[in-house]
């Protein structure tokens, strides 16, 4: 969740660190800081609040330091203030580091370190790591004298000793004031990559902080560390076994993470959906033969076709996509399926066997809870597939096979284009499995033909941007909203409510429309907004009845309906239409007006759409 950027090279480090931190702002944070190493001394600047606050306290004359680390913190242990902000310096003043993750045994280690004479200034678990490394670094020399490892060797040895004692998740960049020509990165459970440029290196938690300087990187795996020095870099495990890492091209470009004339990244990413859905589908759909070709899982299709059970696991928006997937697999492929919250899955005793297909869905490919669920499913013998967006991410490397979304970087915290791409991938997979099991070629062909029309139909919805803004304007003074749908549009109701909550801070609840009279109807008050997804579908008449129930109690109805549906107009106080398509594909269209509605509501209420309070783009800690 936190953002890490560290520079080692020949240029001034400070502007590169600040630029990198700004590119990581979308990950979510509440404080920021940098530490520069110059003349064997640390220069540390940190503050609560935004990076702009940090820039205000930096010296007007930039330091000539060519080595430094930077951080944006999303608070876990300790309130978001200057003392708890990173970087943290150990009790000796010789170790500085930044950290993304959670140290689970920090309390025990802290108690022991205090007993050993170490002092602490912050409430964070991270300071324990700094002091533990510092403890081993200093005590080794004190106890072993001339036999102690020297210089950078002692620094590297101290890091390894410390992480043999630590339990939890971490991605770190670490400096030692005695070793200005060395920097160390360590990873377990939190993303960390090393950008390799010409006589310069950048450690970061995200490729967006690297791509302005280099297009090549190595991706560390769990339990690995990288030591950068004047001759290059070495990779090994924490237990000191050498590891050979492949230098890979970074899959994103600089222009993909620029605003390109849009006010917000979320606005840009909503608008990109027709284009990115075309890219997601391109080369994968053979309409003529009614087939789908998903190269990443082709050798697993026999197992998929024979499976008796599918488990989909995800968090947040990806969970809503998984719920659509559950409906698709059961209806089109006739495979019993269930969607599980990854955050709960690992703490139960789930029934998973060798015949189970486990599908993990994550935009970032780094979601900690989803990764933990993946590891549990693999332990129990399931075939594990990943549906992720970020190439080289931990989930992509951990699963047995998978499919990339191919939608480019998603910067806005509130996911939009990743959701529609996740649903598209699940739709393709369900159609292909259905074709292999019982769907006729004609039916598969018809569904795929309709799927290929979706990008163009999404584009048509954007003609109602101003109308959607006006609907938001008319209702943003209301603090409680309902989102209601049936069948394939029930997950869309959940997603619409989540979007509104995430960025406008309006309380919203998504429900199956039929459940309203089993309790939630008690919430209806005069002019309370109730958003209905009421497209032409098998439950159309039923949802009309649900709209009537809300209108009878004074609620204000905002209805997403099928284009050309005249019958529904009298039931809608506000009407948004989407082009017609088959019922199974409707979520790809009906979610778009709800994304637009949430976006306009947030902007009109004056909120920072791309950096909503308390939220992070990628939840890489439990």
Q: Could you list the beta-strand ranges (E) of 10-84.
A: 31-38, 41-48, 67-73
Residue 105 CA to residue 116 CA, distance in Å, equals 17
- Residues 6 or more apart whose Cβ sits within 8 Å of residue 146: none
CATH topology of domain 258-439: Rossmann fold (3.40.50)
Residue with tokens 């090994």: 236
Starting from the edge strand earliest in sequence, which strands make up the sheet with 95-103, in order? 88-89, 95-103, 168-176, 182-188, 224-229, 232-237
Question: Other C-beta atoms within 10 Å of 554: how many?
Answer: 11
CA distances from 139 to 136, 156, 348, 594 (A): 5, 14, 43, 59
613 phi and psi, to 5 degrees? -60, 145
Q: Provide the pLDDT for residue 233.
A: 95
pLDDT at residue 150, rounded to an integer: 58
pLDDT of residue 147: 53
- Check residue 463 and report its DSSP letter: G
pLDDT of residue 403: 96
**CATH 3.50.50.60, applies to 463-610:** no
Indicate left, alpha or beta for 481 from its phi (over 0: left) and psi (-120 to 50: alpha).
beta
324/330 Cα distance (integer angstroms): 10
Element holding 317 (H helix, E strand): helix 317-328
- Torsion, Cα 371 373 374 376, to 10 degrees, reads 130
How many H-runs (helices) and E-runs (strands) does the chain carry? 18, 26
| Domain segments of the chain as ranges | 3-250, 258-439, 463-610
**By the 8 A CB rule, do 539 and 487 touch?**
yes
Length of the chain (residues): 622
pLDDT at 185: 97
Question: Shortest CA distance to 6 belongs to which of 247, 257, 231, 206?
Answer: 206
Q: In CATH, what is the architecture of 3-250? A: 4-Layer Sandwich (3.60)
Element (H, E) at 423: helix 417-437
pLDDT in the model for residue 59: 85
Task: Please list the alpha-helical segments (H only) found in 3-118.
Answer: 13-23, 51-57, 106-115
Q: How far apart are CA 192 and CA 393, in angstroms?
A: 9
DSSP track, 481-498: EEEEE-GGGHHHHHHHHH
What is the pLDDT, as a whole number, of residue 64? 85
Distance CA 131, CA 151 (A): 18
The set of residues, in sequence order, having a beta carbon less than 8 Å from that of 491 and lying 6+ positions away, is 320, 321, 323, 324, 327, 485, 587
Instruction: Return the pLDDT at 208.
Output: 86
pLDDT for 618 equals 64
CB atoms within 10 A of CB 426: 25
In the three-class reduction of DSSP (H, G, I as helix; E, B as strand; rest coil), residue 51 is classed as: helix
**Whether the Cβ atoms of residue 3 and residue 205 lie closer than 8 Å to each other:** yes
Residue 518 is predicted with a pLDDT of 87
Q: What pLDDT score does 1 carry?
A: 61
Whether the domain at 258-439 and the domain at 463-610 fall into the same CATH topology:
yes
Find, among 595, 581, 275, the residue nearest to 419 by Cα: 595
Q: Write out residues in the chain with pLDDT < 70, as ranges.
A: 1, 140-151, 616-618, 620-622
SS (H, E, C) 504-558: HCCEEEEEEHHHHHHCHHHHCCCCCEEEEECCCCCCHHHHHHHHHHHHHCCCEEE
Q: Which residues are catalytic?
A: 2, 617
Q: Omega into 562 within 30° of 0, i.e. cis?
A: no
Does an H or E element contain 130, and which? helix 126-144
What would the pLDDT profile of 478-537 be if each residue is shown by its tens digit? 999 999 999 999 999 999 999 999 999 999 999 998 888 888 888 888 889 999 999 999
What is the distance, to the nearest Å, from the Cα of residue 451 to the centroid of all Cα atoms in its chain? 26
């Amino acid at each position: 969740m936190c953002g890490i950027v560290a520079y080692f090279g020949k240029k001034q480090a400070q502007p590169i660190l600040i630029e990198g931190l700004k590119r990581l702002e979308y990950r979510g944070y509440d404080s920021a800081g940098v530490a520069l190493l110059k003349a064997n001394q640390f220069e540390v600047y940190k503050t609560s609040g935004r990076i702009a606050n940090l820039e205000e306290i930096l010296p007007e004359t930039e330091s000539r330091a060519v080595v430094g680390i930077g951080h944006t913190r999303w608070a876990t242990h300790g309130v978001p203030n200057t003392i708890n902000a990173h970087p943290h310096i150990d009790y000796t003043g010789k170790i500085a580091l930044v950290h993304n993750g959670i140290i689970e045994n920090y309390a025990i280690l802290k108690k022991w370190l205090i007993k050993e004479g170490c002092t602490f200034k912050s409430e964070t678990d991270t300071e324990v790591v700094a002091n533990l490394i510092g403890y081993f670094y200093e005590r080794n020399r004190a106890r072993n004298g001339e036999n102690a490892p020297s210089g950078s060797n002692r620094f590297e040895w101290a890091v390894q000793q410390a992480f043999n004692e630590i339990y939890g998740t971490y991605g770190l960049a670490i400096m030692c004031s005695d070793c200005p020509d060395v920097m160390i990165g360590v990873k377990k459970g939190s993303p960390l990559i090393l950008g390799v440029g010409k006589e310069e290196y950048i450690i970061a938690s995200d490729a967006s902080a690297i791509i302005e300087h280099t297009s090549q990187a190595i991706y560390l795996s769990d339990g690995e560390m990288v030591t950068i020095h004047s001759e290059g870099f070495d990779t090994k495990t924490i237990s000191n076994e050498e590891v050979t890492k492949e230098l890979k091209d970074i899959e994103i470009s600089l222009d993909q993470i620029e605003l390109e004339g849009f006010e917000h990244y979320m606005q840009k990413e909503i608008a990109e959906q027709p284009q990115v859905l075309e890219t997601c589908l391109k080369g994968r759909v053979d309409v003529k033969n009614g087939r789908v070709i998903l190269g990443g899982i082709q050798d697993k299709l026999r197992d998929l076709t024979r499976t008796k059970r599918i488990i989909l696991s995800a968090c947040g928006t990806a969970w809503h996509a998984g719920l659509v997937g559950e409906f698709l697999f059961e209806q089109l492929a006739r495979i019993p399926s269930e969607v599980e919250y990854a955050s709960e899955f690992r703490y139960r005793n789930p029934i998973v066997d060798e015949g189970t297909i486990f599908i993990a869905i994550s935009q970032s490919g780094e979601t900690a809870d989803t990764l933990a669920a993946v590891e549990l499913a693999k332990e129990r013998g399931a075939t594990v597939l990943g549906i992720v967006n970020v190439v080289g991410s931990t989930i992509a490397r951990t699963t047995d096979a998978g499919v990339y979304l191919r939608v480019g970087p998603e910067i806005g915290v509130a996911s939009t284009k990743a959701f529609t791409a996740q649903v598209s991938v699940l739709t393709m997979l369900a159609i292909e499995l259905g074709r292999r099991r019982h769907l006729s070629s004609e039916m598969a062909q018809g569904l795929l033909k309709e799927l290929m029309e979706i990008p163009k139909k999404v584009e048509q919805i954007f003609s109602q941007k101003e109308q959607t803004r006006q609907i938001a304007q008319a209702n943003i003074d209301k603090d409680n909203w309902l989102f209601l749908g049936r069948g394939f549009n029930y997950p869309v109701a959940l997603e619409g409510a989540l979007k509104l909550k995430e960025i406008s801070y309006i309380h919203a609840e998504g429900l199956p429309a039929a459940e309203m009279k089993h309790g939630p109807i008690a919430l209806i008050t005069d002019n309370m907004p109730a958003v209905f997804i009421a497209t032409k579908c098998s439950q159309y008449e039923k949802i009309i009845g649900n709209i009537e129930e809300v209108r009878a109690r004074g609620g204000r109805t905002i209805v997403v309906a099928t284009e050309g549906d005249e019958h529904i107009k009298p039931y809608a106080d506000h009407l948004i239409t989407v082009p017609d398509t088959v019922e199974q594909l409707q979520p790809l269209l009906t979610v778009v007006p709800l994304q637009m509605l949430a976006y306009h509501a947030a902007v009109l209420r004056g909120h920072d759409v791309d950096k909503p309070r308390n939220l992070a783009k990628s939840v890489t800690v439990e």
